[in-house]
Structure 1
Amino acid sequence: MEFEERVGALATKVKNQADAIGTEEATKNAFVMPFISTILGYDVFDPLEVVPEFIADVGTKRGEKVDYAIIRDGEVQILIECKVSKGSLKIEHASQLFRYFATTNARIAALTNGIVWQFYTDLDAPNRMDEKPFLVLDLSDIDDTLIPEIKKLSKANFDLDSIISAAEELKYVGALKREIAAQFREPSDEWIKFFTQRVYEGAFTARVREQFKGIVAKASAQFLNERINDRLKLALGAGRVIDEANEPGHSVTSEPVVADDLSRDTEIETTLEELEGYQIVKAIACGVVKPQRITQRDAKSYFAVLLDDNNRKPVARLHFNGRQKYLGLLDENKDETRHPIDTLDEIYSHADGIREAVARYA
């Protein structure tokens, strides 16, 4: 079973059994241990890999426990604190994680109720766990863009450097997506005021706020629906003029359009290797610009790494679709030179060229 399929299977289990889980111990047995075992790939019955009720005395705090510690090469790498699945997660639930994070070698901590997994690291201050997660996985509503990042935490693909290098962007992108979703569901006063003052010339009084509360919510919902409809129309080829339709013996059909769109979409497959190569290029580029400015776009023939999500600012191209892999670097005239590589580590040997490309745009 592929990694994505295992995540989907656990999500189905969560959906079917969540209402029957009423205690923290039941949450661990039904959801948390299967996540550690089937998703992260660690043997929950091997004390050399997973230590339940992990104790690391901190100062005057003696005998406090973290629910699970995941061990790699004899060192604690991931700490996990569990709460009952019927409860919501709050930062106050992570008191042991905060204390233990500073006294172990762990760079990753997870707070979970078995359904929602909040992953933390130390972006804000070294050896001090951040107060906000860099990644939130909700098994009741999976964000597919997070699957490659979760895979990096698994035993077979554990890549701490890549996780940490991507954590800052993940943290803010995820937080912004959750905030935008919340505002679309129930607009806050600030959200209402922000848009009202751009279309209403009068004073923003309490009466105006109440009047526009429903209007902003309605406009937001209609905007989303229209965007979805536009994508559907594009996929079906609506609005395209088919000249042959007026010719005898020709009929209008959406089949060629749909086939073309499906062919285009299905031929683009972003691989884990491409994403790992992207993280290496990004880590190198971070010596010149902030990490959130380095983005990626996949295409049929190559995987592009861009500055500021601008296709006019290519940092590098990863040609990983053939038997021979190439790293493409472009000069000031946008002429590309392909450098053959056999392993992803060889990208580091072209660090100067990557930094030069970034510096030209930055």
Structure 2
Amino acid sequence: MDEQDSISPSYEKIIMARQPIFDADVNVVAYELLFRDCTDNKIDILDGDSATSELLVNLYTHFDADEIVGDKKAFINFTRKLIEEPPPFDKKGFVIEVLEDIVIDDALVKHLTRLSEENYTIALDDFVNNELSHLILPLVDIVKIDVLLLNDHELEEHVQLLRKYDLTLLAEKVETHEMYQRCCQLGFELFQGYFLSRPQIISGKKIPASKLLVIELLGRLQNPETTNIELEALIGRDPVLSFQLLKLVNSVRYMLSHKIESLAAAITYLGLNQVRSLASLLTLSNLSDKPCALKDQSAIRAKMCELLGAKISKTEASSLFSVGLLSTLDAYFDQPLEKIIASMPLREDLVDALLNQTGFYGEVLRVVMCLEKAEIDKMNWSFLSDNNITPEDINEVYQESIIWCQAPSV
């Protein structure tokens, strides 16, 4: 075994996650890719001396990263060694993210100057206002600022300071809509964080009547007492929903051998619970006041819950799709989740999963939500181990869910 083999990680123990980066209109324009060793979440695989160009290429290809990011750019953490020897990627497809713990010296300035001249896109992570940081500001295209580390006055000072440079400001760890709006006011152009999945709760604001009808429809779709005939009639009352459901069922997502022509045939072929889940997904997708990024996030979360659950118990898969989907209702309706689902006739175990993340459904939901945030250390590994779920299984489910969401409904 040579030296490189001895320091290379075992791919079976690595989990890849992506974090979306939004523009001011909340469109996804890029993803930050993170490679975590599930045995030690505190260390990114691309940290340290072992992070060579060869390792990055192997990680990128092993995890089919091109399918994960699609036509968006990939932000990738670069150590000093990677900056000195960048991988042979298409420079238009990724962003070099200079980690905050890299020592800034003449050698680093020289390497970044070369990369800048070769038209690489360079981002400076976790900007700190000091003399050394200013040495490389003329060489970078994007500066990331951790908004949780600064108060409002300090944040405004940083923005004023950086405006003299020709660069794009990225607000990192934007956790609330209020912070997102404040960063927009200050002139940030890119945003990273979990504000999109949180409700915009305004005291005294009521749910509009049109959305109350949607909640009522979701409740009837999710009612466990609904029969095949009742579900067909319920969906059939909405011509748009009926058309969209048949279009989705006949899409490349399901690879059917023959075309499904009616709602009754769809229910017979896919099953009551599967059609119930898909109709609920389409109902939420038709809400026009929410960004596409939220709808994609909901679909991926729901599909991940379904696929992960199917590896443990196939009979629970459809219910887990609903759990994943319903867990995002607060972001759609800008109300506490507890208040929304109180009006829906859900089974008690689903309610416990949604509100407390307890029970079998809750454990699966928690794993999926941890993966969304790349919080591998917060996953219940005992639960996963007891059910024979490996990191490879999680990567498979993650990638398959993203590909499923991206597939056209034709």
Compute the TM-score of the two structures, normalised by the length of structure 1.
0.27
Q: Compare the two structures and name the one with the higher helix fraction.
A: 2
Compute the TM-score of the two structures, normalised by the length of structure 2.
0.25
Could you say which structure has the greater relative contact order, defined with CA pairs below 8 angstroms and 6 or more residues apart? 2
| Larger Rg over CA atoms | 1
